[in-house]
Chain A
Amino acid sequence: MRYNALKILKEGLIGNRGWRPAWRTPDPRPEYDVVIIGGGGHGLSTAYYLAKEHGLTNVAVLEKGRLGLGNVGRNTTIVRANYFLPGNSEFYSMSLKLWEGLSADLNYNVMHSQRGLINLFHSDGQRDAFARRGNAMINQGDDAVLLDREGVREMLPYLDFEQGRFPIFGGLYHPRGGSARHDAVAWGYARGADSRGVDLVQNCEVTGIDVEGGRVTGVQTTRGAIRAKKVAIVTAGRSGQVAALAGLRLPIESHVLQAFVTEGLKPVIDHVISFGMGHFYISQSDKGGLVFGGDLDFYPSYAQRGNLPMVEHVMEAGMTLMPMIGKAKVLRSWGGIMDMTPDGSPIIDKAPIDGLYLDCGWCYGGFKAVPGSGFALAHLIAQDRPHADAAGFRLDRFRTGVGLMDEEGTGAQHNLH
């Protein structure tokens, strides 16, 4: 069923009786060409592009709970392509281009809003670093504008520009950055994959990965055994546990990252603002809530909730940046499980077992990568060679030290990102 304005009008007149579920709820078949473990954003987009770009439709997505209830529904919805290092730059640039055509491609409104993102800087040295990053973004073919203090003041007059600790010197403006409705992204990809014949199997937890003679042959699940020629692990914070089913240890630590939303307010913040020195970033959702977050709690966690010290830190940073936020009341806070790699960049690669693929290590930046990650992983699965824009996301870069992508320049070591 294609969605369009006329359809909405018609359904409104007949009492909305004509709508059908957006995807089927099939039982798993005994065998598939490709099994994708994980029905989140990345898993669903992988299934969609396998079907759309490569004609592979004998595909199942296995989700232990319900579709889209993990990190794709727990992030702060920022979409951007402002990376600095080769390897990351071309990938996020490709992903942003997919975002820009996504609603039309999926026939599903993902509410992608390119409201612009501003990264603030607070010293001459930081200005130089951001000028260099902006040039890297422009070289990649994306957009960046270096704003001085008055330029930032014009756009964000409510910030505290004269604060003693981090006076605002200016900002790097990324006009094509913005946000999207995260649930709609999962639902749109699910609908698109399902309509092309992919089975989305819910409440189906993978409990084992079958390997014979160094080659994957299928998976064991709570809904029976499923044979598969190829299996992809796309389970974000749970990647380490699922990989352990195949006897692998990954360069990943799972950490908790907290996020917060205030009660709904009238439009007040028109952009996405990133205050890196305070580990604080904020935007306003279309419902009116101020959505903001900070840094990791920095201890390994699977709890999907954090502790009070980081809550206090984030609130302090918010008050430092924009004292007006003190008037808003926090409505909810939550946590997501981040699959942290040593260098802070992701992995899309073949595992050391034939027919097994890894898509993990997205750290705290997986949402904006949902289209690009699915596109690149589908390419890797279908053609058994990496997509050109994701060729740097190799699993062996930590062992060899070649091609590490440490955007923060702090060293490729756990606990530093």
Chain B
Amino acid sequence: MRVACPLCGDRDSREFTPVGGAELVARPAPEAGAEAWDDYLHNRVNACGPSQELWYHGAGCASWLVVERDTASHEVLGVTLAREVAR
């Protein structure tokens, strides 16, 4: 797999750490309650097929990225800076 970082260009996937589903970008409010936090921390959509994921470019520009990727084929469909998704 190669991942096209918006800042660094096309890079080896070993430079990145996949962290989980991109729903992690939408963090609940601190007082949102135990159910909301349980859901955020533990439960996953775990989609088969095109999927939005949060990746960290630790061996590159250290940016947080939302990678759209097909979990059935490993094809990378698109990469966006997480801060743009979070807006």
List the interface of chain A (C-beta within 8 A of B).
238, 240-241, 249-254, 298-303, 307, 309, 342, 398-399, 413-415
Residues in B neighbouring A298, C-beta threshold 8 A: 17-18
Least distance between B27 CB and chain A CB atoms (Å): 15
Partner of B18, one of A251, A300, A398: A300
Q: Is the CB of A249 within 8 A of B44?
A: yes
Q: Which of B38, B46, B48, B72 has the most CB of A within 10 A?
A: B46
Q: A300-B71, A301-B74 are in contact. Are A414 and B44 (CB under 8 A)?
A: yes
Q: Mark B7-29, 1 if CB is under 8 A from A, else 0.
A: 00000111001111100000000
Residues in A neighbouring B14, C-beta threshold 8 A: 309
Q: Is the CB of B46 within 8 A of A250?
A: yes
Least distance between A398 CB and chain B CB atoms (Å): 4
Partner of B46, one of A241, A309, A342: A241
For B34, the closest partner residue in chain A by CB is A399
Q: Is the CB of B74 within 8 A of A251?
A: no
Q: Is the CB of B20 within 8 A of A307?
A: no
Which 4 interchain pairs have the tightest Cβ spacing? A240-B46, A251-B42, A399-B38, A249-B43
Partner of A415, one of B20, B48, B51, B69: B20
Least distance between A252 CB and chain B CB atoms (Å): 6
Partner of A253, one of B20, B41, B73: B20
Q: A300-B51, A301-B71 are in contact. Are A414 and B20 (CB under 8 A)?
A: yes
Residues in A neighbouring B51, C-beta threshold 8 A: 300
Residues in B neighbouring A415, C-beta threshold 8 A: 18-20
Given contacts A252-B44, A254-B48, 4 further A-B contacts (CB under 8 A): A252-B46, A299-B18, A309-B13, A398-B41
For A413, the closest partner residue in chain B by CB is B41
The secondary structure that dominates the B interface is mixed
Q: Is the CB of B43 within 8 A of A250?
A: yes
Partner of B42, one of A254, A299, A309, A399: A399
Partner of A300, one of B38, B41, B46: B46
What is the number of residues of chain B that contact chain A, defined by CB distance less than 8 Å? 27
Residues in A neighbouring B46, C-beta threshold 8 A: 240-241, 250, 252-254, 300
Residues in B neighbouring A309, C-beta threshold 8 A: 12-14
Q: Taking the complex as formed, is B68 at the interface, i.e. its CB lies under 8 A from any CB of chain A? A: no
Q: Which of A251, A300, A414, A415 has the most CB of B within 10 A?
A: A300
Q: A251-B43, A414-B44 are in contact. Are A307 and B13 (CB under 8 A)?
A: yes
Q: Give Cα distance in the complex from A241 to B49, angstroms.
A: 11
Q: Give Cα distance in the complex from A79 to B60, angstroms.
A: 41
Q: Is the CB of B71 within 8 A of A254?
A: yes
Q: Is the CB of A398 within 8 A of B74?
A: no
Q: Taking the complex as formed, is B1 at the interface, i.e. its CB lies under 8 A from any CB of chain A? A: yes
Q: Taking the complex as formed, is B45 at the interface, i.e. its CB lies under 8 A from any CB of chain A? A: yes
Residues in B neighbouring A238, C-beta threshold 8 A: 48
Q: Is the CB of B20 within 8 A of A303?
A: no
Q: Give Cα distance in the complex from A240 to B17, angstroms.
A: 22
Q: Give Cα distance in the complex from A372 to B35, angstroms.
A: 31
Q: Give Cα distance in the complex from A302 to B71, angstroms.
A: 6
Between-chain CB contacts (< 8 Å), 27 pairs: A238-B48, A240-B44, A240-B45, A250-B43, A250-B46, A251-B42, A253-B20, A254-B46, A254-B48, A298-B17, A299-B1, A299-B18, A300-B20, A300-B21, A300-B53, A301-B71, A302-B48, A302-B71, A303-B72, A307-B74, A342-B41, A398-B38, A398-B42, A399-B35, A399-B42, A413-B41, A415-B19
